[in-house]
Amino acid sequence: MEAKLLSIALGFFLLFLPQVASVRVELDKEKIAGFWKEVAVASDQNLVLRAQKRVEGLFLTFSGRNITVKAVYNSSGNCKTEKAVGSERDTAGEFAFPGHREIFVLDTDYEHYAILRMSLIWQGRDFHVLEYFTRSLEDEDNPSFWRFRDMTADIGLYLLARHGRCAELLKEGLI
Ligand SMILES: *[C@@H]1O[C@H](CO)[C@@H](O)[C@H](O)[C@H]1NC(C)=O
Ligand SMILES: *[C@@H]1O[C@H](CO)[C@@H](O)[C@H](O)[C@H]1NC(C)=O
């Protein structure tokens, strides 16, 4: 376990080294589908943390090798959604989206938490964000969160507000 965590943490910094692939979970797409609440975001780029659109939750759907990510955010009081359709890469847990965006599933137990790495190339620069999600809207004391905090100890961490109403609407399928 320790070794796995260490390699995940290193994976964040040594993005393009081959060992990163080996730490990713064998992904069961059916099991990771559905609602995820965004709990915390870590990035060494302040720009990312200061983003105007603070995503509260995601809903993942799969169809063959396609993935649809529906994200909900609070835009000055209104819940807005955005959809992106991507496709699975040959490596399990890696998905590519238009606009040089990628999602990697670093760790998940499917039922309680998921740790994803989002990457984006924008204006020739790489941006990476590590994100912690939970299935539940409630604050759960899951040990995986403390591992996430350890992993991201040297990176700027942004904790989301406790209860996002937009996440609730997405979870209930009302949006
Ligand atoms: C995957 O997406 C492509 C492009 O949007 C579409 O043409 C294709 O039918 C989709 N495949 C499945 C299995 O949904
Ligand atoms: C959106 O955020 C504002 C504060 O910026 C808050 O007052 C409002 O209740 C939020 N709306 C929802 C639907 O969560």
Domain limits for position 43? 2-171
For ligand 1, whether the C-beta of 22 sits within 6 Å is no
161 by DSSP, 3-state: which? coil
What is the tally of structural domains in the chain? 1
Q: For the chain of 175 residues, list the mean pLDDT of each consecutive stretch of 10.
A: 40 36 69 96 80 86 96 91 95 92 95 94 87 90 90 83 84 93
CA-based nearest residue to 151, from 123, 125, 129? 129
Supply the CATH number for residue 18's domain. Answer: 2.40.128.20
Question: Ligand 1: which of 63, 69, 97 to mutate, most ligand atoms within 8 Å of CB?
Answer: 63
What pLDDT is attached to residue 24?
55
Provide the phi-psi class of 32: left if phi over 0, else alpha when psi is between -120 and 50, else beta. alpha
What pLDDT is attached to residue 82?
95
Most distant CA atoms of the chain, gap in Å: 43
For ligand 1, whether the C-beta of 66 sits within 6 Å is yes
142 by DSSP, 3-state: which? coil
CA-based nearest residue to 89, from 61, 66, 118, 120? 66
What pLDDT is attached to residue 110?
96
* Count of CB atoms situated within 10 Å of the CB of 26: 7
Cite the DSSP H helix spans in the chain.
2-13, 19-23, 29-32, 46-49, 143-151, 165-171
Please say whether the beta carbons of 119 and 86 come within 8 A: no
What pLDDT is attached to residue 159?
77
Centre of ligand 2 to C-alpha 134, Å, is 20
Helix%, strand%, coil% for the chain, nearest 5:
25, 45, 35
Identify the nearest ligand to the CA of 84 by its number: 1
